[in-house]
Structure 1
Amino acid sequence: MMLKIGVIGTGAISSSHIDAYLNFPERCEIVALCDIYPEKAKSAAEKFKLDADIYDNYQEMLNRDDIHIISVCTPPYTHADTAIDILNAGKNVIVEKPMASSLEECDRMIEAAKKNNKILSVVAQNRFRTPMMKLKNLLDSKLMGPIVHTQVDSYWWRGHSYYDLWWRGTWEKEGGGCTLNHAVHHIDIFQWMNGMPQEVTAVMSNTSHDNAEVEDISVAICKYEDGSLAQITSSVIHHGEEQQLIFQGKNARVSVPWKVKASKSQENGFPEEDKELEDKLIETYNAYPEVEFEGHAGQIDNVMTAIEKGKSILIDGVQGRQTLELITAIYQSASLGGTVKLPLEKNSLFYTREGIMENAIHFYEKKTSVENFSDNKITTGGNY
């Protein structure tokens, strides 16, 4: 069966989706593009040489019986209603990160997917990278012993004008700053590999972007039931954008970018190299096969295979919600002070979008609103 594809929102990130679909010409065809600025959709169709219908209202696209999957590449505050409408129209959804602006919206999206028996896949394309899959396999082997400390450095850099775009830099439309919109990928990998912590304590600030309400840096400490700790730094103020995840086990440490070190104790407690364990870790890491399709292409292949063969997907709405729950806990702790226990309950002040807008720290007023940047070129961080 040739799967027919629609894309809603043809801004910068949509190119990653379109490119990914074009990897599979025998399996799918992009037949519809939608944008509130239809000239952007037309431009995308021309750029990628697509024979696709152009819409300025996605509801018209939903009336078509021939579309199987729709990618949602619009600003975060629109994700929930758009995805729910698509699911209710009997179509499968791939929604860009972050899944939604609040846990309440996530719950409605998950319910709509269940009710309509359709796929809701939340973009976390970095899971579909060879170093990430290899590292996940290695952690699952338990060769390192229990994880005692994890370090997540989600370092990005964005200039002042980044927040001039009309929907960015506000709690209402962007839903948050770097923690939600940049570190979301690292936080997703972190909770996928390490599980959800028991509690979160965080601080955040805006040091360099006085045209945005939201944070440009946050630092969170997570504690697990077994006493292990994790630290997560989310930033758009780090030059060089060095990004890493480091897992310290009782017996060894591993990371992306890949590095391994194992120690054993001398009689006096000081370390000496455990070469045997290092070699075993390297052997286990190398034994895991290369990922056939990386990034967005890997996730789109995963979703199409689920439709074609009735298999389960790697990143569903529940997984996407867990990532947002951890981010929401960071915002709640940083805004209200104190430690936040997980899971977050529905009575949390940060459960709804309205609650977040009302209770989150507003650092500055948004001063500028640009409809579109003439330069649509984006970068997507480290290459692990």
Structure 2
Amino acid sequence: MVALINRHEDKAILLRDKFQFDCKVMQDYKELLHEEDIDLVSICTPPQMHAEIASDLLSAGKHVLVEKPMAMSLEECDQMLAAAAESGCILSVVGQNRFHEPNWNLKHILDSGLPGKIVHAQVDSYHWRGESYYDLWWRGTWEQEGGGCTLNHGVHHMDMLLWMMGMPQSVQAVMSNTSHPNSEVEDISIAILSYADGSLAQITSSVIHHGEERQMVFQGEHARISSPWKVYASTAKDNGFPERNPALETEIEAYRDGIEPLLYSGFEGQVDNVLTAIENGSHQVLIDGQDGRNVLELITAVYEASITKQPVSLPLAKDNPFYTREGLLAHAPRFNAKTRPALKASEQQ
């Protein structure tokens, strides 16, 4: 660890002392640009600052791991991708849930073809947050947070869905704010994704679900698999009604048991993946900048479909009114006025 940067220096000092880092403390990330002993920078700022910081660091020859969401707009994503391409440096976007064993196994089983073609996916990104969650200065505003639960909570499951099924052909969606009067942004959205092969997927992003149950269920032609783990396979009787297929279930279970376990999970898994790519010079990471952009493109399509109440076709063109941050801000509904005062500067995160 070479340096910790926080505009509130006392916070960086507390972090340094807590983990006993022997490192510098700075208030401005630009002090890093000419530090030759820095290889990788992790960006954990509010999302509206990602594009500028990442682009500057990449252009200075630093590898970057940036928190989700990658940026506030597709235009900003393209700015970051251009900086990465020009510098030849790694741009990785946080998607730590890919490195959790259940999701890792699910991906490998889908790729094996054992469940057959995926015909339907159900993705429940259920969270619960109280009203005070949006009292933080930057949360609950389109200008600062960039969106609500779709962007900042559903992003993880959307990343995994795209990893497992790829980009859809079109999106239909609705969204609302049902329970958070101190927030401009949505606290629930429901999207239906249509794929070129006829498959459908549905994803609910929410901060209003008690219990916070989260799941990904894939219905294949031959079997259903899910995270949390469950497998059920069916064959047809002569009259077309289902009959359980224990032989296929056993085969899928055996395949799952044979998947090599992850050495590190969650954030540790992704950090190890990025460090390994730097160390061996491959620059090949599991989640790169294009993956991060794909997720934001899907989220942008969900917002556009919700706002316009029309199906949205993908990919989104650069002349799309939602391609830029300004375009989204011009069209975004303000469900409520954010009225409660922001926290003191010393309490801001």
Q: What's the TM-score once normalised by structure 1's chain length? A: 0.89
Q: Which digits, 9 at most, give the CA deviation of each residue in 1:50-77, with x for residues without a partner? A: 1111111111122211100000000001
> Which of 289, 292, 313 pairs up with 2:285?
313
2:24 is aligned, of 43, 53, 61, to 53
- 1:302 partnered with 2:273: yes
Task: Tell me the SS of whatever aligns to 2:143.
Answer: coil
- Counterpart-to-counterpart distance in 2, 1:72 and 1:214: 24
Quote the Cα distance in structure 2 between the aligned partners of 1:310 and 1:272: 51
The 8 Å contact of residues 34 and 56 in structure 1, kept in 2 or not, is answered as yes
Structure-to-structure mapping, 1:193-208, within 5 angstroms: 193-208=164-179
CA displacement 1:279-309 (0-9 Å, x = unmatched) = 1111111110111011111111111111111
Contact kept, 8 Å, 1:157 with 1:241, in 2: the verdict is: yes
- Describe the SS at the equivalent of 2:291: helix
Give the superposition deviation at 1:371.
Answer: 3.8
Aligned pair in 2 of structure 1 residues 372, 281: CA closer, same or farther (>3 Å)? farther
Aligned residue runs from structure 1 range 246-325, under 5 A: 246-311=217-282, 312-325=284-297
State the Cα distance separating 1:191 from its structure 2 match: 0.5
Query: Is 1:367 matched with 2:339?
Result: yes
**2:145 equivalent to 1:145:** no
After superposition, where does 1:105-184 map in structure 2 within 5 Å? 105-184=76-155
The alignment partner of 2:145 has SS state of coil
Distance in 2 (CA, whole Å) between partners of 1:373 and 1:359 is 33
Q: What secondary structure is seen at the aligned counterpart in 2 of 1:213?
A: coil
Q: Partners in 2 of 1:372 and 1:285 — Cα distance?
A: 49
Contact 1:155 1:233 in 2 (8 A): yes
Q: CA deviation at 1:372?
A: 6.4
Q: Which consecutive unaligned segments of at least 5 residues does structure 2 have?
A: none
**Aligned mates of 1:290, 1:65 — CA distance in 2:** 36
d(CA) in 2 for partners of 1:374 and 1:295?
28
Q: Which amino acid aligns with 1:233?
A: T
Partner of 1:80: 51
Aligned partner of 1:32 in structure 2 is 3
| 2:303 matched residue in structure 1 | 331
Aligned 8 A contact 1:165 1:371 in 2: no
- Over 4 Å off, 4+ runs: 372-376
| 2:8–2:346 CA contact under 8 A, matched in 1 | no
Q: 1:165–1:373: 8 Å Cα contact kept in structure 2? A: no
- Give the letter for the 2:243 counterpart: E
Aligned-partner residue type, residue 322 of structure 1: N
- Check conservation: 2:136, 2:348, Cα contact below 8 A: no
The count of aligned residue pairs is: 347
1:326-361 Cα distance to aligned partner (Å, 9 max, x none): 111000000111100001111111100110111111
How far the C-alpha of 1:373 sits from its partner, in A, is 8.8
Distance 1:39 1:290, change over 3 A: same
Counterparts of 1:325 and 1:346, CA distance in 2: 11
Question: Aligned AA for 2:112?
Answer: S
In the alignment, what sits opposite 1:228? Answer: 199
Cα distance change on mapping 1:371 and 1:294 into 2, 3 Å: farther
Deviations 1:205-261 (A, max 9, x none): 001111111100000001111111110000000011000000000111000000000
1:171–1:231 distance in 2 versus 1, CA, 3 Å:
same
Structure-1 separation of matches of 2:338 and 2:318: 30
* AA partner of residue 85 (structure 1): D
Q: Which letter maps to 1:272? A: E
Deviations 1:13-45 (A, max 9, x none): xxxxxxxxxxxxxxxxx1100111111111111
Is the 1:70–1:93 contact (alpha carbons within 8 Å) kept by the matching residues of 2? Answer: yes
Q: Give distance in 2, aligned partners of 1:330 and 1:262.
A: 32
Aligned-residue RMSD, C-alpha: 1.3
1:11-26 maps to which residues of 2 (within 5 A)?
none
Shift of 1:79: 0.4
Counting only pairs closer than 5 Å after superposition, residues 54-73 of structure 1 correspond to structure 2 as 54-73=25-44
Mapped contact 2:137–2:348 kept (Cα < 8 A) = no
Percent identity over paired residues: 56
Partners of 2:103 and 2:347 in 1: how far apart?
34
Cα gap change, 1:375 to 1:108, in 2 (>3 Å): closer
Alpha-carbon contact 1:169-1:212 (below 8 Å) kept: yes
